[in-house]
Amino acid sequence: MDLTLDDVPAPDRSAEPEGFVVVVDPGDRIHFLDWGGPRLLAGATAGPGVLLVHGLAGTAWIWTPVTRRLAGERHGVAMDLRGHGLSDAPTEDGAYDLAVLAGDVVAVAEGSGLVASIDDRVVVAGHGFGAIVAAAAAAALGPRCAGLVLVDGGWESLATSTGLDVDDFLRTLEEPPEVLRSMRAYLADRTAFDPTSWDADQERAARASVVETHAGKVVPVARPHVLEACVRMMFAYDPVATLTAVTAPVVALSAASSGDDAPGARARALAVASAARVAAGRDPIRPVSFGHDGHNLMRYRPEAVTAAILTVTEGTATTES
């Protein structure tokens, strides 16, 4: 059965989140946006809450097209990973290890009230780099995780799928000087990705990922030491080991392959990870493919991402062409 987009609520344009922090050892502050939950009639119950994890160099605001749609259905929380957004950016060795990042996700799940008791369960969704972190967090949550949604990442070895090493990959993240010469230039570049989906929410997300200097230029919020540590973690990630440890159902949304994708490598990696889950006694990964859409599916296909989150625990998502 395909994703049922007709059942996805319209975005609540009036919804606005509250910002909070949780403090994790040894005192690092992790920021998150709490979009609240549905207003329920007496006796009604909501499904599991949703915790959303952004990708590399992003922030919690990138999830706004999804959180506006979830507002009437689930308690939604979007977090800033350490080194990103308004979260602290420690410099210690190991501060961006996968177990540490996953621990931050669990801390936000608990601190936000999404899993306030042993009976509470949460759907974890992550984008790109955040999908890797979300997968590790889902494994750490165990039975408290109701479902895992991987948005264009989390099932592959980057070295194999891109054919790049860590240093080459880091160079692909460098913004051209002309894009960073001013906020206007930066926003124009982001708008050009897809003018039809650009709106005030997209502008807010874009502005949150950079800082405007006194000279008028912009610099990324995620500093070089953060990006390097996170990318090195990504290249060390073992998708099979992590995904076979996730007991919850898993849905994988894949966007159009980039020029860095070795032919078919990402699809093969997804098939391998799914087969490994079956061999480990888990449910297979349910794939949904968007062959003509870019990496930021929350911007280009927010209804489909929301549908996957709402249906991951129901076993209703299958491949879409």
Task: Per-residue pLDDT tens, the chain, 321 aa: give them.
Answer: 355 787 899 999 999 999 999 999 999 999 999 999 876 554 555 789 999 999 999 999 999 999 999 988 899 999 999 999 999 999 999 999 999 999 999 999 999 999 999 899 999 999 999 999 999 999 999 999 999 999 999 999 999 999 999 999 999 999 999 999 999 999 999 999 999 999 999 999 999 999 999 999 999 999 999 999 999 999 999 999 999 999 999 999 999 876 556 668 999 999 999 999 999 999 999 999 998 899 999 999 999 999 999 999 875 444 343
Tokens 């625990």 sit at which residue? 313
The total number of structural domains that make up the chain: 1
Is 29 a domain residue? yes
Is 84 a domain residue? yes
Q: CA 57 to CA 75: how far, in whole Å?
A: 25
Is 254 a domain residue? yes
In this structure, what are the phi and psi dihedrals at residue 47, rounded to the nearest 5 degrees?
-75, -175
The CATH number given to whatever domain includes residue 49 is 3.40.50.1820
Q: CA 271 to CA 155: how far, in whole Å?
A: 9
Is 188 a domain residue? no
Is 210 a domain residue? no
Is 194 a domain residue? no
- Domain of residue 39: give its range: 5-162+223-311
> What separation in angstroms does the CA of 234 have from each of 37, 52, 99, 159, 249?
32, 18, 12, 9, 23
Is 185 a domain residue? no
**Residues 6 or more apart in contact with residue 37 via CB below 8 angstroms:** 46, 49, 71, 74, 75, 76
Is 215 a domain residue? no
Please give the model's pTM, rounded to 2 decimal places.
0.95
